[in-house]
Amino acid sequence: MEYSNLPHTDIEVSKICLGTMTWGRQNTELEGHEQMDYSVEQGINFFDTAELYPIPPRSDEYADTERIIGTWFKKKGNRDKIVLATKIAGKAEFSKHIRSSGFARESITNAVEESLDRLKTDYIDLYQLHWPDRTTNYFGQRGYKHDVPDHWKDNIHQVLETFQDLIKEGKIRHVGISNETPWGTMRFLEESKVHASLPRTITIQNPYSLLNRLFEVGLSEIAIREKVGLLAYSPLGFGTLTGKYLGGMQPATARITLFPNYTRYSSQTATKAIEKYHKLAQDNDLSMAQMALAFVNSRPFVTSTIIGTTNMEQLQENIASIDVRLSDEVLEGIGEIHSEIPNPAP
């Protein structure tokens, strides 16, 4: 395993982060525990979760993923060996069973307390806003439309003040953002620069893969210059970059088969790109999944790549991507495909 520091800290995290959003829906508690056991054996020390999980969210399964991690910590007694990240859900139609108030002080405080209880821990290493409070383009929206009704009032100072209080209480250590835009990222950074007592945003968890390299357009420069580490999610595009859906295949237990409304990475244009990446991998005797992950792992603005699997074979293959080095020929091939079909899955 390889490691990097969470920016502006001395906390060392594995370059592969274990994602958990299937636990409690597609995976049982036992299977979640098995994944954590194997991951730790392979040198992974970084877990990412959220109160929203498992996905797709349902009220009767609310926060079951955090509970599964909590029972594993209780059984193993190794909380101090893991860097733990979780997230607070924002206001949205699909999260109305959690809250309707957005990132108000009371909402954040209660969410942290409840996550601590479920996770069986006294502290959270990295606490993240799952998506922006304001109306903007995230979760597959390609462009920003300002004419969408948005009653948001700038609450970023208040959010950071709340986080600072929780840091002082020892309940969280550091803070991050997720599904953010360049404007939002700089707004958080600006607030903590102007008000030095407020905590600095150290990570951003956004989608990044061969099918979606939009992070490179405006956010990669911010990530490098401001030292805000990308925690890349969906590096395999809901599994499409394994090639398992090519030719119209629909594996019975696969994510898009079970949840066909998840079409973010399944457009005709995306499928054309996937076919080209699949051929490139085959021509170079590479697993398509490992080629896709190795590309993400190698980017200079990526702090850690979040993998999510539903079985041990997938987990083993994904973790092993850390040992894959892409040749100049493969990187050139990726560049050519990207130039021909750029960012087909926003």
Asked if residue 252 belongs to a domain, the reply is no
**pLDDT at residue number 148:** 76
Which residue of the set 3, 53, 62, 123 is catalytic?
53
E strand or H helix at 229: strand 229-232
C-alpha distances in Å from residue 39, one per residue of 22, 183, 224, 287, 325: 16, 35, 28, 20, 21
User: Considering the domain boundaries, does residue 110 fall inside one?
Assistant: yes
What pLDDT, on the 0 to 100 scale, is given for residue 261? 87
User: What's the CA gap between 174 and 188, in Å, rounded?
Assistant: 14
Q: Does 230 map to a domain?
A: no
Q: Are 222 and 182 in contact (CB under 8 A)?
A: yes
Q: How much is the pLDDT for 252?
A: 86
Residue 288 lies in a domain: no
In this prediction, the residues of the chain whose per-residue pLDDT falls under 50 are none
What gap in Å lies between CA 72 and CA 171, rounded to an integer?
Answer: 20
pLDDT digits (tens, 9 = 90+) for 107-156: 999 999 999 999 999 999 999 999 999 999 999 999 998 877 778 999 99
Query: Is 292 a member of any domain?
Result: no
pLDDT recorded at residue 49: 98
Q: What CATH number should be reported for the domain holding residue 190?
A: 3.20.20.100
Q: Are 345 and 212 in contact (CB under 8 A)?
A: yes
Residue 18 domain-assigned? yes
Domain assignment present for residue 116? The answer is: yes
pLDDT of residue 95: 95
Task: Render the burial of 71-89: b for 16+ CB within 10 Å, e for the rest.
Answer: ebbeeeeebeebbbbbbbb
328 falls within a domain: no
Distance CA 192, CA 174 (A): 13
The pLDDT, as a whole number, for residue 248 is: 86
Centre a 10 Å sphere on the Cβ of residue 317 and count the other Cβ atoms it contains: 16
Q: What pLDDT, on the 0 to 100 scale, is given for residue 12?
A: 98
Percent of the chain with pLDDT over 90: 91
Number of domains, the chain: 1
Active site annotation includes 53 = yes
pLDDT of 179: 98
Give the range of the structural domain holding residue 123, as residue numbers without chain letter: 3-205
